Chains A and B, each alone.
Chain A
Amino acid sequence: MKTALKEYGLKNIDRNDVDCWDQKAITHHATMLHWYSAKCQKSKPRESRRLSVTYKLWGDIVEQTHKENEWVIEYSPYKKEDITEEEFNELATAWKRQTAHFSTMYHKLNNSNYLKIIGSGKPAVPFILKDLQKNPELWHEALYFITKDNPVELKDLNDIIKVQQGWLKWGKEQRII
């Protein structure tokens, strides 16, 4: 993952105005936020030697920080503790409405609302699982990128019912639901 981030860190990004079609780069950036944030927090001080650039992604500020020869991507549509259930529901509803006609997870994942939910971090997990209790849905990528857990086998990712059952079982084991 680190290699992928380095590869995508600058090469594919137009820093003047990233539009929605720079999706391959955005996917890598947004979905790896938490992994990198956690890594940075362990190697404090985070603010030292900060060299950063910012650009807009769907109206949200994205920050790239060059630190210890690595580009760290901070995608912060919400502060992690900020998302409420109401906000989650708005994002989830918009995501479902905007991507219902797509057949590929890649296009569903590369939607700003889905990325914002990922960017919201762990506070979004109970809301995702609650939604999953109502209907099968392709939430596994958001859950995977937030929690770094993966209770559904790769071969079962195309079975939306197994995805639902696998993550609900995980949620019960984690005592989140």
Chain B
Amino acid sequence: MDFTPLRDMTPEELASIFPNLNPQNHLITSPPVKEYNCVAWASGINNKRIDFYRNDMGEIDDDQSCTRYIEHFKTLGYIECENSDFENGFEKIALYEDRRGDFTHVALQLEETKWTSKLGYLEDIEHLTLEALEGKGRDKYGNHTTYMKREKK
């Protein structure tokens, strides 16, 4: 493996990217793999990445905000909603953006206080709160800012 998985990180390494994550607020649920990312994971896909950094013309898009990702999740039946509060009968996702307004991450709600996230190449985890993955500054996810929901099938 050519990177350090979450399970092998020192507390200092963990804090440098996820300052709010600690052994009490998350559980590792998979080995680390590169084949899929958080967007794919939240979309129910685990054999390819979903990344809209290049636009349909093949150019690196100036707009790296959540917009394209919101459009993607709309195609999966999600609509934007006001908050991340648990609602019976609905699946919710939360999108993160960094301080430049660029999309960084999406988490999928499993239960009232349980979310699941694929952390880049790192492992899938279950985390108790959305804040567990927040962090300000360079090399951090930023804040959760956008919420979407769809009816559970």
Contact = CB atoms under 8 A, between A and B. Distances in A.
Interface of A: 4, 20-21, 23-24, 27-28, 93, 96-107, 109, 131, 134-137, 154, 157-161
For chain B, give the interface size range: 35 or more
Given A100-B122, A103-B118, A158-B50, A21 B99 contact: yes
A158 B120 contact: no
Contacts of B120: 99-103
Contacts of A27: 60
B93 to A, nearest CB: 13
* Most chain B Cβ neighbours within 10 Å, of A27, A28, A103: A103
B2 A154 contact: no
B38 interface: yes
A158 B4 contact: no
A107 B139 CA distance: 8
Contacts of A101: 17-18, 119-122, 139
Given A27-B60, A104-B64, A160 B49 contact: yes
B12 interface: no
Given A97-B3, A107-B102, 10 more contacts: A4-B59, A21-B100, A97-B4, A103-B37, A103-B51, A105-B54, A137-B34, A157-B54, A159-B48, A160-B34
Interface of B: 2-4, 17-18, 32, 34-35, 37-39, 48-51, 53-54, 58-60, 62, 64, 99-100, 102-105, 118-122, 138-139
Nearest to A20: B138
Given A21-B100, A23-B100, A104 B53 contact: yes
Contacts, number: 85
Contacts of B49: 103, 158-160
A154 B58 contact: yes
B4 A100 contact: yes
8 contacts: A4-B59, A24-B100, A99-B139, A104-B103, A106-B51, A106-B64, A157-B54, A158-B48
A144 B17 CA distance: 29
Nearest 7 interchain pairs by C-beta: A103-B37, A100-B3, A106-B53, A101-B120, A158-B49, A103-B38, A100-B121
Contacts of B3: 96-97, 100
A20 B50 CA distance: 25
B127 to A, nearest CB: 13
Contacts of A99: 120, 139
B82 to A, nearest CB: 25
